[in-house]
């Protein structure tokens, strides 16, 4: 057994777990295999073909599939393709694990974490009374400036009296701060007692209902049987196609054949089941569901959002959706959703920051010229 520690993370290859600064992380099996193989290389460059053989074996996959898993591996470790502080791409050759890694334990299993593991985790092991999902925690760790008006507007909208769900759309060009604003709103809501769910749409995955699948995986954790069924609502069985092991975790022995008149009816019932799951999640308090990068959503995901908006299901659920609204990412479907009238929806279009906010972000002591930044970026 090997336990690797780096940058506040511990990867245990025997227990098949990744623990980050905020606690255990969830991941797909292939993502873990990618991380493990790169760690086992002990800092050496891993050629693309070697990684393909190690993770996918003799199955044929395209290089883009491997690139997607590298992207998810970086996200699992709070890394990205720009900073590459953990996983570095060597263009045309392969990948290299570049973080400073300590082998916390070798050979032989122990149920108690070593002192090194506890030290490198660097987080309070007690439960966080107001947690937000890891995908949002990473964004909330950076300063937010110049968005006080937007946050006040969102807060006022969320506290208004209404019987159905609330919808908040954060729109703007790439890099304008939509996800950062959503994460701050979610963090503030969590500190006030709300339960926060999170899912994103990836440009290169095109998975139907991807945000719901991510939120379901994170929120249900390792729940089993009656506890899992209670958390999913009265149509729990209909949700089982979204997550392969969900049916078994519900304690069922055989798949129920649901009589459907056609595919559209089946999709409609699945959408109802998702809505009821979110409504059940809000029985004990408000729920904030952040759906990131909707401009990359599949048609199935957009149909789901449209139906949930039409149903206006009772319950204290706020959907916070982020999307680009500039070329080449404009979407007529999103435009239709955003333009649908109703007092249950708030649309926030983000523009550039003002000079005082840019000055706060820029470090003039390092030679950053605020006026030049304003001219070149429009804030």
Mean pLDDT by 10 residues, the chain (379 residues): 83 85 82 91 88 75 78 91 89 89 55 32 35 69 77 87 88 90 90 89 87 89 82 86 79 54 81 93 90 94 93 86 88 89 90 70 55 62
Angstrom distance (rounded) from CA 222 to CA 229 = 12
Which pair of tokens denotes residue 277?
Answer: 């799951």
Tokens 């950053």 sit at which residue? 368
Contact criterion met (CB below 8 Å) for 305 and 337: yes
pTM: 0.63
Q: Dump the DSSP string for 126-152.
A: SPPSS---HHHHHHHTS---S-HHHHH
| Predicted pLDDT at 301 | 94
Helix, strand, coil percentages for the chain (3-state, nearest 5): 45, 15, 40
């Amino acid at each position: 057994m090997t336990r690797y520690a780096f940058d506040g993370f511990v990867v245990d290859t025997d227990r098949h777990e990744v623990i980050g600064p905020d606690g255990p992380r969830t991941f797909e099996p292939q993502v873990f295999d990618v991380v493990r193989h790169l760690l086992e290389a002990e800092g050496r460059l891993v050629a693309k073909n070697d990684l393909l053989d190690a993770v996918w074996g003799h199955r044929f996959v395209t290089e883009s599939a491997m690139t997607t898993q590298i992207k998810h591996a970086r996200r699992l470790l709070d890394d990205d393709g720009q900073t590459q502080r953990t996983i570095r791409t060597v263009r045309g050759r392969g990948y290299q694990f570049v973080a400073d890694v300590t082998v916390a334990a070798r050979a032989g299993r122990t149920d108690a974490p070593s002192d090194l593991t506890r030290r490198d985790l660097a987080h309070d092991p007690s439960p966080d009374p107001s947690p937000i999902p890891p995908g949002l925690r990473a964004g909330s760790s950076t300063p937010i400036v110049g968005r006080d008006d937007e946050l006040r507007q969102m807060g006022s909208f969320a506290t208004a009296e209404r019987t159905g769900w609330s919808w908040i759309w954060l729109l703007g060009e790439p890099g304008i701060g939509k996800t950062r604003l959503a994460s701050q709103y979610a963090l503030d809501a969590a500190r006030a007692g709300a339960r926060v769910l999170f899912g994103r749409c990836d440009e290169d995955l095109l998975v139907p209902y991807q945000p719901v699948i991510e939120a379901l995986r994170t929120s249900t954790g390792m729940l089993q049987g009656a506890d899992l069924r209670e958390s999913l609502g009265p149509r729990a069985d209909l949700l089982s196609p979204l997550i392969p092991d969900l049916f078994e975790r519900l304690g069922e022995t055989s798949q129920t054949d649901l009589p459907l008149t056609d595919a559209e009816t089946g999709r409609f019932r699945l959408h109802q089941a998702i809505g009821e799951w979110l409504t059940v999640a809000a029985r004990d308090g408000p729920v904030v569901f952040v759906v990131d990068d909707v401009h990359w959503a599949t048609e199935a995901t957009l149909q789901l959002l449209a139906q949930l908006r039409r149903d206006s299901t009772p319950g204290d659920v706020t959907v916070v959706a982020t999307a680009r609204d500039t070329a080449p990412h404009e979407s007529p479907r999103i435009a239709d959703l955003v333009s649908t009238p109703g007092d249950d929806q708030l649309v926030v279009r983000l523009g550039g920051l003002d000079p005082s906010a840019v000055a706060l972000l820029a470090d003039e002591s390092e030679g950053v010229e605020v006026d030049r930044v304003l001219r070149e970026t429009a804030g």
